[in-house]
Amino acid sequence: MIDVIPVASPHLDEDDITAAVRVLRSGALVQGREVAAFEDEFSDLVDGRHCIAVNSGTTALWLPLLGLGIGPGDEVIIPAFTFAATAAAVRLTGATPVFADIDPVSFCLDPTAAAEAVTSRTAAIIPVHLFGHPADLGALLTLARRHGIALIEDAAQAHAATLHARPVGTFGTAAAFSFYPTKNMQSVEGGMITTADPGLARTLRLLRNVGMETRYCHEIVGTNGRLNDVFAAIGRTQLRKLPARTAARRAHAAHLDAALAGVAGISPPTTGIGAGHVYHQYTIRVDDGRDAFAQALLEDRVGCSVHYPVPLHRSPAYRTAAHLPHTDTAAAQVLSLPVHPGLARADLDRIVTTVLRHARREQLAA
């Protein structure tokens, strides 16, 4: 039987493994040279902003909220069409996530909907660069400035994405990246916070290290959010490969775009003006019968998955009565196809022929 083409391909190359083993043998495992070097090198990706490495993307969202003093009584505007960590970070501070609808083209937070969600309690807004497409930061920053609230970018899926040639992670008060294995680069587990504010950067370093800079001098209440040096070493080798791997994702997406354009019943992803998409996911819409379509692809051994089938305002932990029609439609229609750098030309051809065959069958049945 032919192999399944996986929808994601978490990869660790020999150079990543060698780097990890070198650090393990060195014995310098925590808050050593590798973490500092990783922060320094990552800073090149975000125009020299301060970089604070942490143990996950979730921690990278949570700590800036804490550092800005956001907590009980505050509201934070976020999309419901995202991974739950965006909402979890808000709730873990004691603040309340307020869900606003998405733009149906980019799948990212809609600035008009976000504006309508602002109240006197709004303390921050967290746009998500979903699937690797930058959110509409121009309009969202205008909104944030007008109300004097913080904007934190959830860039967990968008390493090296750009908007009008400027990298994501350089727009907000702070930004959060994730290095979970399926992300565009990984460190097994890990995250990075970026900020231009040196005072906030210092607070974040304290928050990640149980509130201390000097040992046993606890200036504030903090958590243990540290990244270890073994993982940081993997992050460094992965960072060096990010440009080539991003180019591969874009080439694969261009191939799929060309092959799937104009096919009745499905729509390839669209890129907004000035958006430098990095295709963490290649997410199409299937007008009708998405679940059966996905099942048919899986039976033909083409991996695919739904991000996200249950929007957060409908999931038990975060349920609200928010009216989010674009979010609900997206959750019913989206389907992510493989786009990762591990695909060969033959894989792409098989993805295309399988998708076209099932799209035609749907049309004939309709």
Give the nearest distance from C-beta 282 to ligand PLP in angstroms. 15
Of the ranges 23-31, 152-160, 292-300, 321-329, which one interacts with ligand PLP (CB under 6 A)?
152-160
Q: Is 56 in the site for ligand PLP (CB under 6 A)?
A: yes
Scanning the chain, the segments in alpha helix (DSSP H) are 14-26, 33-42, 57-67, 85-92, 111-116, 137-147, 198-208, 229-260, 290-299, 325-333, 345-365
Q: Is 154 in the site for ligand PLP (CB under 6 A)?
A: yes
Of the ranges 50-58, 102-110, 164-172, 339-347, which one interacts with ligand PLP (CB under 6 A)?
50-58
DSSP helix/strand/coil, 216: coil
- Do you know the residue count of the chain? 366
Of the ranges 82-90, 91-99, 107-115, 265-273, which one interacts with ligand PLP (CB under 6 A)?
82-90
Give the nearest distance from C-beta 328 to ligand PLP in angstroms. 19
What are the backbone angles phi and psi of residue 217, rounded to the nearest 5°? -110, 95
For ligand PLP, the closer CB: 53 or 266: 53
Q: Specify whether the CB–CB gap between 356 and 259 falls below 8 A.
A: yes
Of the candidates 282, 202, 188, 194, which has an alpha carbon nearest to the alpha carbon of residue 235?
A: 188
Q: Is 191 in the site for ligand PLP (CB under 6 A)?
A: yes
Q: Specify whether the CB–CB gap between 30 and 209 falls below 8 A.
A: no
For ligand PLP, the closer CB: 43 or 182: 182
Contacts of 72 (CB under 8 A, 6+ apart): 94, 95
Q: Is 122 in the site for ligand PLP (CB under 6 A)?
A: no
Closest residue by beta carbon to ligand PLP: 57
Q: Is 186 in the site for ligand PLP (CB under 6 A)?
A: no
Q: Is 111 in the site for ligand PLP (CB under 6 A)?
A: no
Of the candidates 83, 114, 101, 127, which has an alpha carbon nearest to the alpha carbon of residue 327?
A: 101
Look at the block and give the residue holding tokens 């301060």. Answer: 50
Which of 178, 203, 237, 238 touches ligand PLP (CB under 6 A)?
178
Residues that bind ligand PLP (CB under 6 A): 56-58, 82-83, 85-86, 128, 154, 156-157, 178, 180, 191
